[in-house]
Structure 1
């Protein structure tokens, strides 16, 4: 009897490792899937296989259009919520996919991988030491010629696992467009990043910006028209020359090293350059007066 009970408890411990996802079909291929999280525990990185994808041979309809959620949280455990809207399709000889997510910890990412000899489109679950103890759930239209909405771990405590069935995990670059035809597109948040996952300002762009015009509000910035006031103390040209010889840049203009380190503040730099232009204009006016005086003296000498 003791041996039977011991065997029973042993089988109970093993049982979760063989649980398959529970699927409720709503209509056609629209499903609600409770994805088994048996492949999860703390310090685990895992993929969710969305569907098989084209890998050189023509393939039937494979898609995932819907919402995938991952939760953690109890009265005694740290809370996590990671939600991703998936739009993906692989059929015939091509694959297209994109993601849109909302998270309080980490970011989802599209991946491709080889699982049991087939290539799959997958999502990399946002990582944290504490795993999603509420598991994963998908609601949407999905079908696959292979595995469909299956969680597979690939690393535990920094060590690779499941390498005998899972390999070639690579990034997939999203290749679908998202268009918003609206009157105003408002983002009420802290920072927005384009081409970066770590924006450090209201808008951070990693790359080039192409636009027809840029308008900069000068709130708090002092436009240097005070240069033209009678009491403005303009440096002499010898003083400017001495400063340039010593510092290798103009007075009140940051050096190349400072710009390389801190970046270039557009409004501040434009005002600094405007000030130099205004000062230069004063120098030119002063020089022109001297030239006119010299011309008059030369003319006086020549007419004698």
Structure 2
């Protein structure tokens, strides 16, 4: 009896592991085996054909395609195939966008073919069939996972359908550049970045400006509860015995000539070049410490005059 149960369980596991299609309450996934380019040329594979209506695309929903590289544990890319109508823009042309990308080497991408008119219509709008390809660069290999809500069929008879090619054939193509997640994008609406992990931006960031020259350039006001500026060379050396304190007479002469304190940027320079918070705080502290030394000396002179 135990042997029979073991064989039944083993057969069930084999069936589950061999399964390439899965339907979870209408959300379906299909896995296509290796698509690869084993020699020095890039290859193209027709992995699916998607039926859609030129107006009612959103009824079928978007299609998500994920590429998994068996050569690199972090080799992963995620694409979405959708229609511009679903984003609230004019027209209804299908488009593909990359959502995520991980790994050092990115050698695959999803490409859309030319839509084919099915010769039928829905509510007066033509129905089309859209070829979906996976392009693979030389010496690369991927497993493909497709997630969709359309009905999986072998032959189209209405737009809300998809045909999956479980054993796609290859076609030689020219080499290509893989799209990156950091391509420019524009939006007139709100932008939400919601995540619990750290985010990394290696380039410059501009807010209110398209030409940031620093890691963060803001053309506008900033409100914060706390800002910490790391700095070195804090001017406590002013209080050292060897510090050469400028006499007040020389300070007065400098002010009359230049219109500002020694060591402090002029108003014109500050307006043209801006002010570095860390450096400016050091300058102001240095002037306060020098002023304190002058007051101490003045107090000593006053006390001496009183005694005399």
TM-score, length-normalised on structure 1?
A: 0.46
TM-score, length-normalised on structure 2?
A: 0.45
